[in-house]
Amino acid sequence: MLIHEHMVPKSIVIERLKKLSNPTRDSVKELLEFYCKGAVVTKDEDRRLNGNGLRSKMPTDWDEKDVEARYALVGIVLRTPTT
């Protein structure tokens, strides 16, 4: 079974949107384009994320740039689809 994942949990994206001091159309678009990415993981990989407290959180040392940080922390290697 495969599961769709938000690479950066929606709660984090919403938090970042709320922190925009003077949101503009462009700043909101830029933030959403950067953070709103999806991944497909196996049920086992999903359990690993959840078991490590990363269901709706990013790692505590997250640099706010590496959208794959949750996966790297638990040893999940994401692949880019080939054409």
Banded model confidence at residue 82, pLDDT cuts 50, 70, 90: low
Tell me if 20 sits within 8 A of 31, measured CB to CB: yes
Q: Which pLDDT value is given to residue 79? A: 87
Q: Output the pLDDT for position 52.
A: 96
* Per-residue pLDDT reduced to its tens digit, 30-75: 999 999 999 999 999 999 999 999 999 999 999 999 999 999 999 9
Q: How much is the pLDDT for 9?
A: 96
Strand 38-42 and strand 2-6: pairing? antiparallel
pLDDT reading at 81 higher than 90: no
Q: How far is CA 52 from CA 28, 56, 81, in A?
A: 30, 11, 26
